Structure 1
Amino acid sequence: MTRTGSAGVGARIRVLREARGLSLSALAAQAGIGKGSLSELETGRRNPTLDTLYAVATPLGVPLAALLDDHDGAAVADEGVVATRVRVLREPGRTTEVYLLRLAAGVERASPAHPAGVEEQLVVLAGSGEVEHGADVVAIGPGDHVRFAADVPHAYRAGPDEALEAVNVIVTPVPPV
C-alpha cells in the first residue's frame, strides 16, 4: 500500500509508457506484473506497492522519484517497509534521490536490478541488519555506510529484534539526449 496519490502515480506511469512507445502488455511483461494490474495502476484503481513501483520504474528507465508524488515528504509503504522521500536533485547527467528508509524488525526489502550505472548508498541511523548486493552480504549497524552498484538484485534486511532506519541515496545516470 502506498501513501502517495495512486491516481497521480498511475498517470505518470501511463505518460512514461506511452512516451517510450510501450504497450500495456509490453510494460507489464517487462515489469513482471499482470496486464490487468498495470491497467488498474494506470487508472488509479489500485494502490501501487513499493515492489511494483520499482518493477515498473526499471523497464521505463526512470528513477523511483519519477513515479512518486513530486514533493519531499511523499511516502510509499509496503508490509513493514516505509520509504519517505527526503530530497530529489535533478542535475545534468544524473538524478540523486534521498529517502528515509524504515524496515520493521525481521523485514526484508528486496529490489530487482536497476538500470546500468545506478549506484546506491545506505547510511544506518538505528538498528542493525544486512545489505545484500550481488554475491556480497554486509552486516550493518548504526553509523555504518555501504555503497554499491545497484544494477544487480539487492536487498536490505532488518535484524530480528529491532527496526532498521537508514538514509538511502540512489544515484541514477541520465543518458544524454
Structure 2
Amino acid sequence: MDAHVAGRVGSRLRDLREARRMSLSELARRSAVGKGTLSELEGGRRNPTLETLYALTTALGVPLSSVLHAAAPQLPAPLPEEISGQAVDAVLTERFEDPAAVTETYRIRIRAGSTQESAAHAPGTTEHIIVLTGHARVGPAHAPGPVVGPGAHASWPADVPHVYEAAEEDVEALLVVRHPRQ
C-alpha cells in the first residue's frame, strides 16, 4: 500500500472513531489493536493488514469498505488497492448501500498452502464466494464447508470466526460480504 493510500485509510479510521466519540484507547481496547499501532495507522505512518482493518472496522461497527472508499460522494472513487492479510489478498471492487445493508464485492486471492481465520463480523453479516480458479475450503471455523472449485460457490454466516484455505494452488475468487444495517 503506498503512503497516499495508507494516509487516506488512516484519516478515514480517525474520522470514523471520532464520529463515534471513541477515544484512541477505547478503540484499541475494543479491537485488540495496540494503541501505538492505531496511532501510526491513523497518522498514515503504517500500512494496515487485512486482519487489522477488519478488527478496527468491526470494533467501530462499520464494514471494511468504510475505510477503503472515498469519504464523501463528491470525491472520486480511489483506484483499487490491494489489502493483504496472513493468507488472503483482497481488492474492493464495489460497494453498494441500500436501506437494509451495505454489500461489498472483493476480488480475492487465497495463497497456496495457507489458511486464514477471520474474526467474527457484526451480527447478521454473511459472506458468499464464487471461485474462479483453484480449490478453496471456506466457512465457519468450527465446520468449514466442502472444497469449492472453479465455477462453484458457497456462503456462510460471517458473524462467527470463519476460514479461507487454499491447498496446492492459489485460489482466485469473488467475495461478496453483506453487512445488515444495525
CA distance in 2, matches of 1:80, 1:156: 8
Secondary structure of the equivalent of 1:140?
Answer: coil
Task: Please name the residue that 2:60 is paired with.
Answer: 60
Query: Which protein is richer in strand relative to its size?
Result: 1
1:130 corresponds, among 127, 130, 137, to 137
Contact persistence 2:139–2:156 (CA under 8 A): no
Contact persistence 2:117–2:141 (CA under 8 A): no
How far residue 134 of structure 1 moved from its aligned partner, in angstroms, is: 4.4
CA distance in 1, matches of 2:21, 2:110: 36
Contact persistence 1:8–1:69 (CA under 8 A): no
Task: Please name the residue that 2:42 is paired with.
Answer: 42
Task: Please name the residue that 1:92 is paired with.
Answer: 99
- One-letter code of the match for 1:25? S
CA distance in 1, matches of 2:51, 2:67: 13
| Alignment pair present for 1:145 and 2:156 | no
How far residue 25 of structure 1 moved from its aligned partner, in angstroms, is: 0.8
2:162 corresponds, among 154, 163, 166, to 154
Runs of 4+ in 1 over 6 A off after TM superposition: none
CA distance in 2, matches of 1:105, 1:59: 30
Task: Please name the residue that 1:26 is paired with.
Answer: 26
- One-letter code of the match for 1:168? L
CA distance in 2, matches of 1:142, 1:9: 33
Contact persistence 1:5–1:69 (CA under 8 A): no
1:76 corresponds, among 49, 60, 83, to 83
Note the alpha carbon deviations across 1:58-82, whole angstroms, 9 max, x for none.
0101111001143362321235532
After superposition, where does 1:81-120 map in structure 2 within 5 Å?
81-120=88-127
Identify if the C-alpha distance between structure 1 residues 151 and 79 changes in structure 2 by more than 3 Å, giving closer, same or farther.
Answer: closer
Contact persistence 2:139–2:157 (CA under 8 A): no
Contact persistence 2:144–2:163 (CA under 8 A): no
How far residue 109 of structure 1 moved from its aligned partner, in angstroms, is: 2.5
Note the alpha carbon deviations across 1:84-122, whole angstroms, 9 max, x for none.
111111112211100011022112222100000111101
